[in-house]
Structure 1
């Protein structure tokens, strides 16, 4: 296994531990213990930690190594509108023919959301499919790198079944707008979906 591939796997594993709470907010990363637990040397581990600090998921603390970034309402207020605009931009970078092929598959995932045991993951698949035909790989990479910063807030957002029904309806409206070849409407609905998610998060 190459060093580069190993680093990528480490980034995914550490990210997963932060998002599911095994590495809680404000926790200090014990590099010696984590390296032993993951079966790697400290060099590739530190490279992965530096990369995650660059993305904002961790914080490099002088004299203390790396800490898991704290929960921050201001961060959420910045990130949700940012992701909304990035995804709307991804739609505009997608050809009309490609967009026209998406609505049925989007509706199928929306159907799954109503009974899903892991709502954030199902919602992720819906949004990933929505932006998957974007012709700008740099934009998609930016979305992929930014979204993990939101994940720790998603549990609060998806905690209410009443909000779930509303969210599924919003997802269907976006698919319907694409079906009607209404890119402007779909983009506006997409932004509204993200902004409303933030408003519910504030109440939780």
Structure 2
């Protein structure tokens, strides 16, 4: 592969990923390469390279002589991935310097307050939750671990509507975030990591449930 095309390929992959995660390319949709290339203003060659990359990341499925399609939603797979991400994030938390985490505490608290305000206004918490977890992990200097987390988390993004589908679930999630932060302020990273894993495990438990009948 021409190294000169790598930045373009990565940019295309990011744009296609965004379409998958926000539903513009819905589950089980077949990718129309001609149309997508025209939308992105690129040629077919770097587009196909980007699509192959996304198959390696499990965001697309390649079918011989039929091109690419978005994989179906799979609740069972998601229930396995949520705890995995929790364990990876907990590992990143344990590998962060306690003083660096303390330096983030006030910003983490403000974002939790933003979550609460958004919930009170009936808004969507998914974006703020992503920002909170990104900030929490920003103190981890292990680039290999952070890359693994970044590659795994997008697989779960399509399930956000099932995870944040009701106010009771969201309130419980906010409480878990506050417990994580309290443990960080106390200097107890093991307790913070335990609640971080629990937050993700609870997310897996709520997948596929009726948000009006079960809380988060």
Q: Same fold (TM over 0.5)?
A: yes
Aligned pairs for 1:121-160 (under 5 A) are 121-160=127-166
Q: Which of 14, 17, 30 pairs up with 2:16?
A: 14
Q: Where in structure 1 do 4 or more consecutive aligned residues deviate above 4 Å?
A: none
Mapped to 2, the partners of 1:192 and 1:88 lie a distance apart of: 10
Q: Which of 149, 167, 170 pairs up with 2:173?
A: 167
**TM-score, normalising length: structure 2:** 0.90
Contact 2:75 2:207 in 1 (8 A): no
CA shift, 1:95, in A, is: 1.1
Contact 1:102 1:175 in 2 (8 A): no
Mapped to 1, the partners of 2:116 and 2:17 lie a distance apart of: 27
Mapped to 2, the partners of 1:152 and 1:31 lie a distance apart of: 22
Q: Which residue of 1 aligns with 2:98?
A: 96
Mapped to 1, the partners of 2:172 and 2:127 lie a distance apart of: 17
Q: Secondary structure at the match of 1:90?
A: helix
Q: Secondary structure at the match of 1:29?
A: coil
Aligned pairs for 1:24-103 (under 5 A) are 24-103=26-105
Mapped to 1, the partners of 2:39 and 2:208 lie a distance apart of: 36
Contact 2:79 2:207 in 1 (8 A): no
The count of aligned residue pairs is: 203
Q: Which residue of 1 aligns with 2:214?
A: none
Q: Secondary structure at the match of 2:117?
A: coil
Q: Secondary structure at the match of 1:102?
A: helix
Q: Which residue of 2 aligns with 1:105?
A: 107
Q: Secondary structure at the match of 1:115?
A: helix
Alignment gaps of 5+ in structure 1: none
Mapped to 1, the partners of 2:163 and 2:176 lie a distance apart of: 15
